[in-house]
Structure 1
Amino acid sequence: MTTNAIVSYRTSADGSTLHATLLAPELDFDVADELRDSLEKTAAASSCRQLCLDLAEVTFIDSYALGALVGARNSAAAAGLTMVLTRPSPPVRQAIEVTGLTEVFGLDPV
């Protein structure tokens, strides 16, 4: 397991999935670039096929951070990984749904 200031990473037992857990409760302009850069760097160096970003503890996300997640998703795809968001908190799910990004991030409609 590796951890930086904003994300903790671990690889699944079979080595196919990289699990990322956010350590910051709010994703906004102040942390969005750091998050994107961390996800992009880790995805590029990973041999996994999927990147799962756990958003259960995130209480707020702004549009800039959503854009950073889209950028990270695109970079992961370029590196051969599928990036999905898992366990989004209610405010995060609402922001994703309002912006029409549900399918982009692999979230099932509620």
Structure 2
Amino acid sequence: MTTDAIVSYRTSADGTTLEATLLAPELDVDVADELRDNLEKAVAGSPCRQLSLDLAEVTFIDSYAMGALVGVRNSAAAAGLTMVLTRPSAPVRQAIEVTGLAEVFGLDPV
């Protein structure tokens, strides 16, 4: 397991999924660029086929950070990985659903 200031990484037991746990409780303009750069770097060097972002600890996300996640999703797709968001907190899920990005990020309907 590799841990960064805002992201912790591990590879699934079968080696197909890069599991990233977001550690910053608030994803906003102050951390969005760092988050995007960190995740894009991890995706670029990964032999995995999927990037899974665990959002359980995130309690707030703003539009700038949401845009950063869309950028990461696009970078992951270009590298041959699908990206899904898992375990979003209620306020984060609501923000994702309001923006119409739930399906794009692979969130199951509630």
TM-score class, shorter-chain normalisation, is over 0.9
User: Hey, what does 2:24 align to over in structure 1?
Assistant: 24
> What's the RMSD between the two structures over aligned residues?
0.5
The alpha carbon displacement at 1:30 in A equals 0.2
What are the equivalent positions in structure 2 for 1:81-92 lying under 5 Å apart? 81-92=81-92
Equivalent AA in structure 1 for residue 81 of structure 2: L
- The separation in 1 between residues aligned to 2:76 and 2:8, in whole angstroms, is 17
Identity of aligned residues (%): 87
User: Hey, what does 2:37 align to over in structure 1?
Assistant: 37
Give the 4+ runs in structure 1 shifted more than 6 A. Answer: none
Give the secondary structure class of the aligned counterpart of 1:84.
Answer: strand
The alpha carbon displacement at 1:56 in A equals 0.5
The alpha carbon displacement at 1:103 in A equals 0.6
What are the equivalent positions in structure 2 for 1:5-20 lying under 5 Å apart? 5-20=5-20
User: 1:48-87: CA deviations, max 9, x gaps?
Assistant: 0000000001010000000000000000000010000000
User: Hey, what does 1:97 align to over in structure 2?
Assistant: 97
What is the aligned residue count?
A: 110
- The separation in 1 between residues aligned to 2:80 and 2:40, in whole angstroms, is 12
User: Hey, what does 2:70 align to over in structure 1?
Assistant: 70
TM-score of the superposition, structure 1-length normalised?
Answer: 0.98
Equivalent AA in structure 2 for residue 90 of structure 1: A
In structure 1, stretches of 5+ residues that fail to align are: none
TM-score of the superposition, structure 2-length normalised?
Answer: 0.98
